[in-house]
Structure formats: structure tokens, C-alpha cells
Structure 1
């Protein structure tokens, strides 16, 4: 199983001019936990939205290879050709957790989790929902409408919802924002359990969470500055941590930018 990003470009149209999301981004990841790092505006969320098929690239394509007999392509040309049946099949294998502050839905927490379980054809859906509610501390919010959720409770719900279907591809945008220590530990445990069998793509500024990575991608102004195995990249810094490597790369980038 792997994901190939091939010459991806995305630019946002704004009233006062365009803003770059990604510029000719190419990389490839396989099974494991891949963490995307970069300063604000580097293109992390853009990469995740494109990969989750919530956004269409202006140029380039994304190739999802599930197995030797199953591959999916996401690009502007495929959208124009209305090849949505394959994308629907892909989306059944994928869960995306965006950064959101509120949901605009009246459905209660437990009912919405049940809808997700039945829609994704999980085995024993009622049991799966009960287990998810217990695991993520949502028992007190079972009957709470989704639009009332906020902060940490909303984030715990989004994580529970995304895992109901046990997705082959799990995409997380700043998942530890507002999470308490216990919930963050649970998230790290989930990442450790999944990393040998699934693809997980995480954009984060949480250096503790980044230590769960098997692979790292460093974005800078919409471009891929570095990517590779965490253990190889961090071996180049004395501390051997993702935080130290990231700091060193930021210093290197600033020095390089000041000496054309």
C-alpha cells in the first residue's frame, strides 16, 4: 500500500491576489505513520485536503495503490472525466480529521457514530459504537447534538468517528489541538497499533506526537524541503529527536535564504 504525490500544485484565489498552497510537490509514502512538518502557511493542510480528495489539485495527480490489483488516481483530469465511482470506493477506505471548531449538524453523537458504522459496513456496528464511545470518553455526550460539541470533546468525537471504519488511510490535521494528556496518549497508542498495517498521514506542530512518525515530510512555502525515514533524518542531530531536527532545518532554511 502506498501514496504517490506527483507534481502537485494548488493555488488559492483570493480577493487581493492568489496564495500558494503547494508548488510542484512530489513524494511517496508507504505503510506507516508519516508526519508532515512546516511553519504556518507551508502547505500542510493543503496537502491533507488534496490527499483526502476534499480538494482538487490545479496540476499533478495523487496515485493511491491499495494492492497490486487496486489503484486510484485523483487529479483534475479524472474529475473532469467524472470518474467518481472509483473515488467513492477510495473514500470508503479513508478517514479524514480536519481542523474544525464546530460542526453544523443536529444529529446526536451516538446516532451519528451508528450512521458511520452502518454506512461503512463494519462488522457488529452496535458493539463498535459502544466501544468507541467508551474509549474516547463520550458517554456523557451520547445524546448531545453535534453542533453543541466544541474544544476537546469535539476533537475526541472526530477521532472516534474517523476510526469506526478502521480505515486503511487515516489523515489527521493537528489532531492534538485541545486534547488532554490522556486523550493524547490514547491517540499515540492508536498510531503505534496501526503503523505496520495502515497508512497514517499527520500534519502537526506537536513535536511529542511527531515522535510517533516512521517517516517525516518537511514543507516550506508549498514545496517539499526534505522527506525520508525519521531514524535516518534525526540521526544527523545530536539529540536524535524530531524537535531538534526540525529546529536545525529551520535554521538551515533561514541561513540559505539569506545567502542567495
Structure 2
């Protein structure tokens, strides 16, 4: 199967240095696939996303995208200028104007119908994340990229948001790349989990990772088939292979 997007031997340096943020990273995501990337702060998760989107200079390797690939992106943070009030309808028309019917339809899909005239500054955290998701879905993406999209949400809001993502994936068939600091994995539908810490430490299917002794020592058993909400403290030893087929030690400097 041809990958939607693929990173080959990707290396990225910290700005102004030759110290690697990411070293020799191989990554791919195929049509309809759900891939979850986890790792501690500073592990290079958001750097990987920016590289895949074409927003980071590469020190080595390459990123290959399928011709005509459409990507919907829900960023980690959005800075709002409260001095320039903007309502939801206007926000959805950035950068390309959409008509009222399209705006209403996409907001209904993400469960925030009727908010077209609401100023962004007056939205709750959960409402704002759903508006961001609506914007990302406007142009029928082949790949939906979510970079730590639930920061600031309480646990009920977090669970509701990930249920919505699961519904969107089933309805649209879009592939999903989910990036998280905390291990937030929809175990029943995540096809692969990748542990990143400046390099690919280990990876595998949800079933393989959840049954691995190292994974169970960290997160406990019984996680498969449920939404797993765990903190990933990255205190395990990646020098001991979980499985030779799913463990990829790389020489990389620690990334605090």
C-alpha cells in the first residue's frame, strides 16, 4: 500500500545548533490508518509533525507525500488576539471563504451546531477544540493530524473529544495521526503506537504494545479495547527489546 506520507531517515537539528531533536527517524502512515505517537516533553513529537507538514528544515533524510494529499491539522496551541474579536463563522472562512450552509454542516458534524455567531473568546475549551476540528475537516482531508489536541480539557471533555475523533474516522475514512504527551490511545482503533524520544524507541500494533512486558509494567493490563488514559513518564529502559521486530534502538543524544 502506498503511504499517504513518509519520513525516511529523518534528522532535524535544534535551531542554531547541530544538536539533533530527531535522529534517523523512519515513519509512515497509510490510507485509513490510525497512528499514535507518544513520548515525554522534548522528545520531538511536535517537531515530527511540523516536518511532515513541511514547516521544518531537515538536516537529513526526506519527507515524501502522496500526490494531491489533503491534510487537516488541529494544532497544539492557537493564539487568539482578543483585541480583534472573531466569531466562529469568520474563523471557518480562513483562509478560504465558505458559505453559511457549509459552516453549519461542519459544525453539526463536530457537535457544536449553532455557534456560528459566537466569538471565539467566549467558547469553552471543549467547544474551541471542536471548532478547530471542524476547520480541519472542511476540505475532506485524507489525513487528520492532531498535535496534543486535548490540552486544557477535563477528563469528561477529553473522553468526549476522542470519541468524536473515532466517529469522524469511521464516517470519513481519513487516516489519523495523533500526537500526545500523555498516553491517550483509543486502543481498540489505533493501528500502531510509536514511542518517540529523539528517535523511534519502540513501535507496534496496539495489541502487540499492550501485551509487551515493558508496556504492562508501565501502564498495567486490561487496557486493550478501552480508552487508555495514562501518563507516559518514559522511565522504562529502551535498551531491552520488547520484540525484535518492533524495537529500534538508535544512537541519539538525550532530549530533555
TM-score (structure 2 length as normaliser): 0.71
SS of residue paired to 2:195: strand
Quick one: which of 184, 190, 194 aligns to 1:217? 194
1:207 and 1:109 mapped to 2: Cα distance?
30
Query: Is residue 200 of structure 1 aligned with residue 176 of structure 2?
Result: yes
Q: In the alignment, what sits opposite 1:76?
A: none
2:19 and 2:121 mapped to 1: Cα distance?
31
Q: In the alignment, what sits opposite 2:244?
A: none
Quick one: which of 215, 223, 227 aligns to 1:241? 223
Contact 1:95–1:163, Cα closer than 8 Å, also in 2:
yes
TM-score (structure 1 length as normaliser): 0.70
SS of residue paired to 1:61: strand
Q: CA, structure 1 residues 245+234, in 2 after alignment: closer, same or farther (shift >3 Å)? A: farther
Contact 1:36–1:217, Cα closer than 8 Å, also in 2:
yes
TM-align CA RMSD:
3.5
SS of residue paired to 1:251: coil
Q: CA, structure 1 residues 56+156, in 2 after alignment: closer, same or farther (shift >3 Å)? A: same
Gaps of 5+ in 2: 242-248, 250-256
1:61 and 1:148 mapped to 2: Cα distance?
42
Give the number of the structure whose residues are more often helix, by fraction.
1
1:97 and 1:249 mapped to 2: Cα distance?
25
Q: In the alignment, what sits opposite 1:132?
A: 106
Report the number of matched residues: 224
Q: In the alignment, what sits opposite 1:6?
A: 8
C-alpha deviation, 1:153, in angstroms: 4.0
SS of residue paired to 1:217: strand
Cα deviations by residue, 1:95-137 (Å, 9 ceiling, x for unpaired)? 1111115235754320231456757xxxxx5333113334443
Cα deviations by residue, 1:209-232 (Å, 9 ceiling, x for unpaired)? 453421111111x10111221112
1:182 and 1:167 mapped to 2: Cα distance?
24
